[in-house]
């Protein structure tokens, strides 16, 4: 019965209505998800009274860069420098060390390999928020609390990265490595000249995830340093905000700082979007 009544002719108008409703809902949510960034962008160019009075307006009236000027008069340049330094060192370290370990766990035979891999998996299950005090204790004990080493060393490898690289190396064919080894190349040489070039997509994914993760990292900096000269961008920004909690002052400046913290990740996201999406959905797709 039902099949007879839903002939294509009758369905056409109903289909149109659902399509329109579908688009309306999608556009509504797209606005909800995007408009906060519009607010962030436009309000950072407003004057303080304008931002307080017309927070929703997408047009600054008048356009003012006073917030940014004050930002760069302060420590903002320093924060950016620290963030860049930490992010670059950590990303390079992670890409190199994670892929070395991932390769060893995927391909090389050595006693204890199973135990190391089990430990890596166990480490991934440790929730980050319970590590605040432990990290502080160890940095304090080693006497490197409040140094660049404290900002960088604990982040230098990540278990998830090792896991991703191991999975990847297991998926590439053995034949080329075998050929290189039979020709007498050392393990490291085989790794560097034969394996790594084939691992480009996985390396890009790892680079992007590390960059994004480290650039955005906040709680680690909170327990690793307290010297304002060592603040990274998220730490400086958090300090800026929690200093004057609840008061509506200086919002163009704060939003400008937030904007500049968002831009690098936004650019990388725009360029390498498919790697981000692959990173996030790797799990959900059929493994």
Partner 1 sequence: MSTVTTAAADRDDRSAGGGRPAHRGSGRRRPRFGRGIRGNEAMAGWLFVLPIVVILGLFLLLPILMAFWVSLTDWRGQGSPFKSGVPFVGGDNYTHLFTQDGLARRDFMTSLRNNFYYVLIVVPVQTALALGLALLVNNRMLKAKGFFRTAFYFPSVTSSVAISVVFLFMFANSGAINGVLSWFGIDGPAWFSDSRGLIHLILGLFGVDSAPAALNDGGPLGLSWWEWLSGPSVAMCAIMFLVIWTTSGTFMLMFLAALQSVPVSLDEASELDGATRWQRFRYVTLPLLKPTMFLVLTLGLIGTWQVFDQIYVMSQGNPAKTTLTPAFLSYRTAFKDLDYGEGAAISFILFVIIIVLTLAQRWIMRDRDEPRRRFRWLR
The interface with partner 1 within residues 28-47 (CB under 8 A) comprises 29-30, 32-34, 36-37, 39-40, 43
Residue closer to partner 1, measured from CB, 40 or 65:
40
Q: Which residues touch 94 (CB under 8 Å, ≥6 apart)? A: 155, 156, 157, 158, 161, 206, 210
**Chain center to CA of 245:** 27
Stretch that binds partner 1, among 60-68, 74-82, 84-92, 186-194 (CB under 8 A): 186-194
Q: How far is the CB of 176 from partner 1 (least distance, A)?
A: 6
Q: Nearest CA to 213 among 120, 136, 280?
A: 280
**Binding mask of the shown chain, residues 247 to 266, with x at each position contacting partner 1 by CB under 8 A:** -x--x--xx-xxx-xx--xx
**For partner 1, the closer CB: 74 or 201:** 201
Minimum CB separation of residue 24 from partner 1 in Å reads: 11
How many Å apart are CA 103 and CA 157, to the nearest integer? 14
Site for partner 1 in 57-96 (CB under 8 A): none
Cα separation, 97 vs 155, in Å, equals 12
CA distances from 16 to 8, 12, 24, 28, 112 (A): 12, 6, 12, 18, 62
Residue 90 has, within 13 A of its CA and on its CB side, a CA count of 28
Rounded to whole angstroms, the Cα distance separating 140 from 142 reads 6
Taken in order 256, 47, 240, 40, the sign of the CA dihedral is negative
Q: Nearest approach, Cβ of 130 to partner 1 (angstroms)? A: 4
Contact indicator for 91, 205 with CB cutoff of 8 Å: no
Size of the site for partner 1 (CB under 8 A): 130
Shortest distance in whole angstroms from residue 14 CB to partner 1: 10
Minimum CB–partner distance for residue 63 and partner 1 (Å): 18
**Near partner 1 in 213-242, by CB under 8 A:** 215-216, 218-219, 222-223, 233-234, 237-238, 241-242
* Per-position x/- string for 265-284, each x denoting binding to partner 1 as judged by CB under 8 A, each - no binding: xx--x---x--xxxxxxxxx
Q: Give the range of 24-32, 64-72, 73-81, 84-92 binding partner 1 by CB under 8 A.
A: 24-32
Cβ neighbours around 285 below 10 Å, total: 7
Q: Report in angstroms how near the CB of residue 156 gets to partner 1 at its nearest.
A: 6
Question: Which positions from 111 through 170 interact with partner 1, judged by CB under 8 A?
Answer: 111-113, 116, 119-120, 123-138, 140-141, 153-154, 156-160, 162-164, 167-168, 170
φ, ψ (nearest 5 deg) of residue 218:
-120, -55
Among 173, 183, 227, 243, binds partner 1 (CB under 8 A): 173
Q: Which of 205, 229, 232, 197 is nearest to 217 (CA)?
A: 232
Q: How far is the CB of 10 from partner 1 (least distance, A)?
A: 14
């Amino acid at each position: 019965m039902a099949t007879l009544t839903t002939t294509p002719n009758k369905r056409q108008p109903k289909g149109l209505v659902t399509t329109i409703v579908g688009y309306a809902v999608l556009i509504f949510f797209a606005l909800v998800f995007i408009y906060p960034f519009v607010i962030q962008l436009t309000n950072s160019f407003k004057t303080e009274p304008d931002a307080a009075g017309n927070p929703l307006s997408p047009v600054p009236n008048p356009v003012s860069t006073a917030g940014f000027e004050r930002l760069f008069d302060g420590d903002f340049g320093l924060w950016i420098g620290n963030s860049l330094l930490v992010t670059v060192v950590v990303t390079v370290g992670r890409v190199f060390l994670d892929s070395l370990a991932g390769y060893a766990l995927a391909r090389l035979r050595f006693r204890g390999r199973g135990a190391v891999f089990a430990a890596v998996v166990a480490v991934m299950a440790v929730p980050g928020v319970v590590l605040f005090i432990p990290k502080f204790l160890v940095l304090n004990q080693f006497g490197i609390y409040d140094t660049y080493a404290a900002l960088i060393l604990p982040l230098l490898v990540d278990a998830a990265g090792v896991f991703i690289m191991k999975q990847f190396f297991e998926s590439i064919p053995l034949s080329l490595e075998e050929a290189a080894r039979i020709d007498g190349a050392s393990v490291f040489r085989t790794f560097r000249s034969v394996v790594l070039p084939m691992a480009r997509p996985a390396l890009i994914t790892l680079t992007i995830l590390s960059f994004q993760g480290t650039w955005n990292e906040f709680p680690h900096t909170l327990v690793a340093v307290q010297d304002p000269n060592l603040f990274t961008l998220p730490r400086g920004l958090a300090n800026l905000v929690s200093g004057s909690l609840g008061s509506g002052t200086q919002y163009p400046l704060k939003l400008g700082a937030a904007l500049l913290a968002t831009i690098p990740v936004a650019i990388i996201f725009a360029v390498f979007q498919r790697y981000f999406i692959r990173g996030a959905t790797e799990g959900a797709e059929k493994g």
